[in-house]
């Protein structure tokens, strides 16, 4: 019985605990529901606030975009105004510059500017003289002139129009396939100098040009060929060595060359008045690619002298070819044009062979005792044979290809004349 009573008490306690637990559970469920509702409400409020903020942001973006577009349009309009104003200003400046340039060209005349005329110069040598001009090119100073002006001299002095003298020279540069040269000036003083027009400078039929000289003259060019500037002859006649410049810039287009002053390809010069129609002065282009061969000035002088001496020997050979045993030895015979055998030998009397023939001629003319015809013929034959031997030795080191481009064709002619002369021994002495 006691056990049943204890069991009943225990069950009551358990039921009471269960009831308490159920009550706590219900309380927790009610609190959970309340918390969930609060959280849902807060979430809803936040979502509403976010949507409101998003709407306000979109509105602000739209407003800012509109403001940006308005500013962009204003800037574009302002830019267009500035560009238009700048274009108008540039056009105005260009017109003013063109007008000023035209006025400047109309007023500018290199023939009246000391900076140009003082670049003109003259060259004096111990044998010849002539004209030229000073050019600044590639950081160096050069004296331009016709090659024939320098030939034949052994020393030079160059003086510009301002009175400055030049006596220190570098290499001579000879233009290939042409008849002008330039000599480097080594003086360190600053002097007036011209500039060369470049290869892109085109000379048309209406290009104003000026020939700078003591008596400068101006006119229009007639165009240009591969090697020359075509101009009215009156513009350059008598102005050999002078520069032809572009009037607008003063830059050198050409150098004036006198063909009559150039050596002719003949052993004996033609007498005055018998050279036919004189060749016209030419304006040889410098606004083109020129091939130069540099040569020491002393070497150039030596080559000129060597060529002259070679031709003098050849002349003696031609004179000896007419020798005979007549009282005058045949020396009155005309060898070429107005040159007699005797005049040729007298001009070369410093040569032993020429002097010996002249002495023999003078002895016979004065009727001094002389050799019989057979002995005379033998003596003259020995002279001719000795001369031929000497000239062959003289010819051994005469190589035209070693001469500078200016002298080379004349050296080739000289060698041909020598060979022809040696083929014509005195025929009367062989009879």
Give the pLDDT mean for 68-83: 83
284/328 same-domain check? no
Which sign, positive or negative, has the C-alpha torsion 109, 111, 117, 120? positive
Look at residue 212 in the predicted model and tell me its pLDDT.
94
Please state, in angstroms and rounded to a whole number, the distance separating the CA atoms of residues 308 and 127: 13
Instruction: Give CB contacts under 8 A, 24+ apart, made by 227-234.
Output: 227/178, 227/284, 227/285, 227/288, 228/254, 228/282, 228/283, 228/284, 228/285, 229/203, 229/253, 229/254, 229/283, 229/285, 230/283, 231/283, 233/280, 233/281
Asked if the model's pLDDT at residue 247 lies above 90, the reply is: yes
Look at residue 429 in the predicted model and tell me its pLDDT.
56
254/372 same-domain check? no
Q: Is residue 304 in a domain?
A: yes
Q: Provide the number of structural domains found in the chain.
A: 2
Look at residue 272 in the predicted model and tell me its pLDDT.
40
Query: In terms of Cα–Cα distance, which of 187, 189, 184, 157 is closest to 172?
Result: 184
Give the pLDDT mean for 372-378: 77
157/238 same-domain check? yes
Q: Is residue 76 in a domain?
A: no
228/282 same-domain check? yes
198/241 same-domain check? yes
Taking a C-beta distance cutoff of 8 angstroms, is the pair 311, 400 a contact? no
Look at residue 132 in the predicted model and tell me its pLDDT.
95
Please state, in angstroms and rounded to a whole number, the distance separating the CA atoms of residues 411 and 407: 6
Higher local confidence (pLDDT), 238 or 328: 238
290/300 same-domain check? no
187/242 same-domain check? yes
Higher local confidence (pLDDT), 264 or 251: 251
pLDDT digits (tens, 9 = 90+) for 90-100: 877 766 665 55
322/380 same-domain check? yes
Q: Is residue 39 in a domain?
A: no
CATH of the domain at 253: 2.40.10.120
Q: Is residue 224 in a domain?
A: yes
Q: Is residue 23 in a domain?
A: no
Look at residue 99 in the predicted model and tell me its pLDDT.
52
Q: Is residue 264 in a domain?
A: yes
253/312 same-domain check? no
pLDDT digits (tens, 9 = 90+) for 152-194: 788 889 999 999 999 899 999 999 888 899 999 998 778 899 9
236/301 same-domain check? no
Please state, in angstroms and rounded to a whole number, the distance separating the CA atoms of residues 244 and 217: 10
Q: Is residue 1 in a domain?
A: no
pLDDT digits (tens, 9 = 90+) for 253-269: 999 998 776 666 666 65
Please state, in angstroms and rounded to a whole number, the distance separating the CA atoms of residues 355 and 125: 30
Count of CB atoms situated within 10 Å of the CB of 307 = 21
Please state, in angstroms and rounded to a whole number, the distance separating the CA atoms of residues 270 and 255: 27
pLDDT band, residue 121 (cuts 50/70/90) = very high
Look at residue 431 in the predicted model and tell me its pLDDT.
52
Please state, in angstroms and rounded to a whole number, the distance separating the CA atoms of residues 189 and 178: 31
pLDDT band, residue 9 (cuts 50/70/90) = low
Q: How far apart are the first and last CA of the chain?
A: 198
Q: CB under 8 Å to 421, separation ≥6 — which residues?
A: 314, 317, 318, 321, 391
Please state, in angstroms and rounded to a whole number, the distance separating the CA atoms of residues 143 and 169: 10
> Quick one: 292 exposed, middle or buried, by C-beta within 10 A (0-12, 13-18, 19+)?
middle
SS3 (DSSP) at 344: helix
Q: Which two tokens stand for residue 285?
A: 């282009």
Which stretches does DSSP call E strand in 118-251? 120-125, 129-137, 140-146, 156-160, 165-166, 169-175, 180-185, 208-211, 217-220, 223-224, 228-230, 243-246
346/401 same-domain check? yes
Q: Is residue 75 in a domain?
A: no
Name the pTM for this structure.
0.67
Instruction: Count CA atoms closer than 13 A to 403's CA, side-chain side.
Output: 23
Look at residue 97 in the predicted model and tell me its pLDDT.
61
313/282 same-domain check? no
Among 235, 259, 294, residue at a domain's last position: 294
Among 294, 329, 362, residue at a domain's last position: 294
Round the average pLDDT of the chain to a whole number and report it: 83
Q: Which domain holds residue 208?
A: 114-269+278-294
H helix or E strand, kind and range, residue 33 = helix 2-107
Please state, in angstroms and rounded to a whole number, the distance separating the CA atoms of residues 379 and 372: 10
């Amino acid at each position: 019985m006691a056990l049943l009573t204890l069991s009943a008490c225990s069950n009551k306690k358990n039921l009471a605990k269960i009831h308490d637990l159920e009550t706590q559970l219900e309380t927790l469920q009610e609190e959970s529901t309340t918390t969930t509702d609060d959280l849902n409400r807060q979430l809803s409020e936040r979502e509403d606030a976010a949507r409101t903020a998003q709407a306000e942001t979109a509105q602000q973006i739209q407003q800012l975009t509109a403001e940006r577009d308005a500013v962009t349009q204003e800037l574009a309009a302002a830019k267009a105004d500035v560009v238009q104003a700048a274009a108008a200003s540039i056009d105005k400046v260009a017109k003013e510059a063109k007008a000023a340039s035209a006025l400047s060209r109309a007023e500018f005349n290199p023939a009246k500017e000391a900076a140009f005329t003082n670049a003109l110069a003259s060259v004096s040598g111990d044998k010849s003289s002539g004209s030229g001009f000073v050019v600044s090119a590639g950081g160096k100073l050069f004296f331009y002139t016709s090659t024939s002006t320098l030939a034949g001299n052994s020393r030079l002095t160059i003086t510009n129009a301002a009175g400055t003298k030049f006596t220190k020279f570098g290499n001579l540069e000879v233009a290939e396939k042409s008849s002008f040269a330039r000599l480097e000036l080594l003086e360190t003083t600053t002097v007036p100098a011209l500039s060369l027009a470049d290869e892109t400078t085109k000379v048309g039929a209406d290009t104003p040009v000026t020939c700078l000289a003591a008596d400068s003259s101006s006119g229009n060019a007639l165009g240009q060929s591969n090697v020359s500037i075509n101009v009215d002859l009156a513009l350059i006649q008598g102005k050999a060595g002078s520069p032809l410049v572009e009037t607008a810039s003063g830059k050198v287009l050409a150098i004036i060359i006198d063909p009559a002053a150039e050596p002719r390809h003949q052993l004996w010069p033609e007498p005055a008045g018998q050279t036919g129609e004189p060749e016209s002065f030419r304006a040889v282009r410098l606004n083109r690619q020129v091939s130069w061969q540099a040569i020491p000035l002393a070497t150039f002088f030596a080559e000129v002298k060597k060529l002259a001496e070679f031709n003098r020997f050849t002349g003696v050979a031609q004179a000896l070819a007419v020798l005979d045993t007549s009282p005058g030895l045949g020396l009155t015979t005309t060898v070429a044009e107005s040159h007699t055998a005797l005049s040729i030998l007298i001009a070369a009397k410093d040569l032993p062979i020429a002097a010996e023939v002249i002495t023999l001629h003078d002895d016979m003319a004065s009727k001094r005792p002389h050799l019989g015809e057979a002995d005379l013929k033998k003596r003259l034959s020995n002279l001719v044979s000795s001369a031929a031997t000497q000239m062959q030795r003289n010819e051994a080191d005469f190589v035209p290809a070693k001469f500078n481009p200016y002298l080379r064709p004349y050296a080739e002619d000289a060698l041909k004349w020598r060979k022809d002369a040696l083929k014509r021994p005195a025929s009367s002495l062989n009879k």
